[in-house]
Amino acid sequence: MNHSIATMISEDEIEKRVKEMALQIDAHYKDSESLILVGLLRGSVIFLSDLARRLTIPVKLDFMATSSYGSSTVAGEVKILKELDEEIRNKDVLIVEDIVDTGNTLAKIKEMLLLRNPNSVAICALLNKPSRREVDVKIDWQGFSIEDKFVVGYGMDFNQLYRNLPYIGMVTFND
């Protein structure tokens, strides 16, 4: 499939926004002794790594991998492919996501994590596509709000390619 990639959000813009978000998260959790960053694999890995390095508060890192399935007319079930290694009871949990699209998977993950009795569960997403939202999901820290475009880079992929791009690119398919 023939396609091209144009820069949507530059490496410098991402770096600046991640630093700003880290300052806000540091301030919010300054009294927490038990913050766990939960990255949703695979797309969040680069964002989570950069964010974690900018935080000055102590944090633990953990990961979940999910897949959703179901018909296009009904919100699919979320299948856990990789479960958390850390116990989150009485801990503060910050879900770190690359992009929030429909919100279905993220809402279900948050609901599942809340059943484990953490102190809190919040969401930090690099990208938000509000025009695609099907479920109301509160994003506590958001990097950028974008239009409904197909994007790659900075952890996001097209057929597992382009995750390593240092910027966020918009994919255009050519006939």
CATH number at residue 45: 3.40.50.2020
User: Assign residue 104 a region: left if phi > 0, alpha if psi is -120 to 50, beta otherwise?
Assistant: alpha
Answer yes or no: are the C-beta atoms of 91 and 114 closer than 8 Å.
no
pLDDT at 141 over 90: yes
Q: Which of 50, 92, 98, 101 is catalytic?
A: 101
Give domain status of residue 158, yes or no. Answer: no
Whether 50 sits among the annotated catalytic residues: the reply is no
Give domain status of residue 48, yes or no. Answer: yes
Angle at which helices 11-28 and 45-54 pack, to 10 degrees?
Answer: 60
pLDDT value at residue 72:
47
- The range of the structural domain enclosing residue 120 comes to 11-25+35-66+78-148
pLDDT value at residue 75:
52
Give domain status of residue 163, yes or no. Answer: no
Q: In what helix (H) or strand (E) does residue 3 lie, and over which residues does it extend?
A: strand 3-9
Give domain status of residue 97, yes or no. Answer: yes
pLDDT value at residue 61:
97
Give domain status of residue 143, yes or no. Answer: yes
Domains identified in the chain, total number: 1
Give domain status of residue 113, yes or no. Answer: yes
Give domain status of residue 115, yes or no. Answer: yes
Give domain status of residue 174, yes or no. Answer: no
**Residue 82: DSSP 8-state:** E
Q: Which residue has the tokens 């960053």?
A: 37
Global pTM value: 0.93
Residue-wise pLDDT for 46-84, tens only, equals: 999 999 999 999 999 999 998 865 544 445 677 888 999
Q: How far is CA 125 from CA 3, 33, 51, 71, in A?
A: 26, 22, 11, 26
